[in-house]
Amino acid sequence: MVRFENVGMRYGAGPEVLRDVTFVLEAGSFTFLTGLSGAGKTTLLKLITVAERPSRGLITLFGHDLATVRRKTLPALRRRVGVVFQDFRLLDHLSAFDNVALPLRIAGGQPADYALDVDELLSWVGLGDRLGAKPPTLSGGEQQRVAIARAVVAKPDLLIADEPTGNVDAEIGARLIRLFAELNRLGTTVVIATHDRSLMENTRSREMRLVDGRLVELRVRT
């Protein structure tokens, strides 16, 4: 599903923040990307989500070599990836419903066709009664659930979450991880970046650890 070969990344003329990163994400896998703050987790996720270009190395996404793929195909690849951003990035002037519906609108869906799905999904994350609320009127945890609903509404093949439990207490964090595990069971490949290794307990998962821009440890937890 995702393949990195000797990928290096630097911002502008700065130092390399990722070095010789090589790994493969199998379809249906559940992966934790761990590492201290500043280790390069967000940068690695940006490469997977086609938000940044690597400085060197080879990235293959859904079988497409990103170095040679035509520009016109990139939007279609990005649509197959759902992203939960660390800072949510909800649109403040849109209701929870419209925020969640955004990926479906981008894909050309009509409100009549997706309204039910969006309602259902928002109920599933416990926001069935806050459909019309604008993000600024929601609590941090509620905003996060809207962000998650938006990331999964279009049934992406790959779900990426950057520090999704950064802003919530341990209990809600554990519930979020169960939610991701549930999505994974339904077939979605999941990658979660976190600096909190306690999250990985009780989850069948693989850990990729970044230290100073290098992938140092790969292990499977069962």
Partner 1 sequence: MNEAILPRDKGAAPLDLMIAVMAFLAALALGASLIADRAAQNWQNGLAGKITVQILPPQRGDAGKTLGAETQTVLGILRSTAGIARVNALSQAEQVKLVQPWLGTGNLVSDLPLPQLVDADIAPGSDVDLAALSTRLKQAVPDAVLDDHSHWIGRLRDLAHTFMWSAYGVLILIAVSMAAAVSFATRAGLDTHHEMVALLHQMGAQGGFIARAFEWHYFRSTLVAAAAGAAFAALLFMIAGGLQFAGVEAVPFLPPLGLKAQELLWLSVVPAGAGAIALVTARLSVLAALRSIY
Ligand X SMILES: Nc1ncnc2c1ncn2[C@@H]1O[C@H](COP(=O)(O)OP(=O)(O)O)[C@@H](O)[C@H]1O
The single residue among 58, 115, 133, 172 that binds partner 1, judged by CB under 8 A, is 115
- Binding flag, residue 98, partner 1 (CB under 8 A): yes
The single residue among 31, 42, 43, 49 that binds partner 1, judged by CB under 8 A, is 49
With CB under 5 to 8 Å by kind, the binding choice for 51 among partner 1, ligand X, Mg ion, none is: partner 1
Scan residues 3-42 and list those touching ligand X (CB under 6 A). Answer: 11, 14, 17, 35, 37-42
Nearer to Mg ion, 38 or 128 (CB): 38
- The piece of 14-22, 40-48, 124-132, 145-153 that touches Mg ion (CB under 5 A) is 40-48
Residue 47 C-beta: closest distance to ligand X, Å? 10
- Binding flag, residue 108, ligand X (CB under 6 A): no
Beta bridge partners of 20: none
Residue 218 C-beta: closest distance to partner 1, Å? 28
Q: How far apart are CA 156 and CA 154, in angstroms?
A: 6
In the three-class reduction of DSSP (H, G, I as helix; E, B as strand; rest coil), residue 139 is classed as: coil
Q: Which one-letter DSSP state was computed for residue 16? A: E
- Binding flag, residue 170, partner 1 (CB under 8 A): no
CA-wise closest residue to 41 among 11, 17, 8:
17
The residues, ordered by sequence, that sit 6+ positions from 99 with a Cβ below 8 Å of its Cβ are 90, 91, 135, 146, 150
Cα 7 → chain centroid: 20
With CB under 5 to 8 Å by kind, the binding choice for 30 among Mg ion, ligand X, partner 1, none is: none
The single residue among 29, 42, 165, 205 that binds Mg ion, judged by CB under 5 A, is 42
Sign of CA dihedral 108, 113, 116, 120: negative
Residue 161 C-beta: closest distance to ligand X, Å? 12
Residue 206 C-beta: closest distance to ligand X, Å? 18
Structure tokens at 119: 């309602």
Q: Which residue do the tokens 């293959």 mark?
A: 60
Q: How far apart are CA 3 and CA 86, in angstroms?
A: 23
Provide the binding-site residues for Mg ion, judged by CB under 5 A: 42
